Amino acid sequence: MTLSLGFSPCPNDTFIFDAMLHGKVDTEGLAFEVFMEDVEALNRRAFAGEIAVTKLSYHAFAWLTERYTLLDAGSALGNNCGPLLIARQPMTDAEIESARIAIPGKMTTANFLLSLAYPDARDKHETLFSEIENVVLEGKTDAGLIIHENRFTYEEKGLVKLLDLGEFWETTTGLPIPLGGIVVNKDLPKEIQQKVNR
């Protein structure tokens, strides 16, 4: 049986799925049609019910629990590695709440965390995660919400951190940041769901 499988180009995801896709583990007769896309594109596929197995944001999963089951392995829980709100220059909280902010997607955990930290920030512009630094640098937005490895490169480009949303979450809750998980569609037969989970 061939199943659609979605994951992002993030190194964590490519590592997780490498063995399954390259014959390094027994997939018990399952084959996969791969969709490697940014996490918001995967979230959208999941909302449309277009994908059997996928990585998605925990924020999106909260809306999809009737359609998908969380697998036992592959979740991304972070400590000191959450999304960052960045800009060309420091900004006050009031300025942030009225700013044009590039986000990696409406249903991303990053946007959920931003909404908790700045509930009045509503001028959000969905932008491919890898382009967020550029749109901030070009002045197309006042600030940007970066994820993945961009958190390690923004300073080299002259950008400044306004808020570490992972730190905000951990300080507020005392818990690791629930970034994303791997899910399987509940419409698949139970034995197939169990094979995927193994």
Residues annotated as catalytic (active site), given as ranges:
148
Residue type at 106 in one-letter notation: K
Nearest-angstrom CA–CA distance, 50 and 98: 36
Residues 6+ apart with CB under 8 A from 134: none
> What is the rounded CA–CA span in Å between residue 183 and residue 2?
16
Strands (E), the chain: 2-7, 31-36, 53-57, 68-70, 76-78, 84-87, 101-103, 124-126, 143-146, 160-164, 177-185
* One-letter amino acid for residue 103 of the chain: I
CA–CA dist 152, 80 (Å, integer): 12
| Cα-trace Rg, the chain | 18
- Cα 11 off chain centre by: 13
Tokens at 26, concatenated:
């027994």
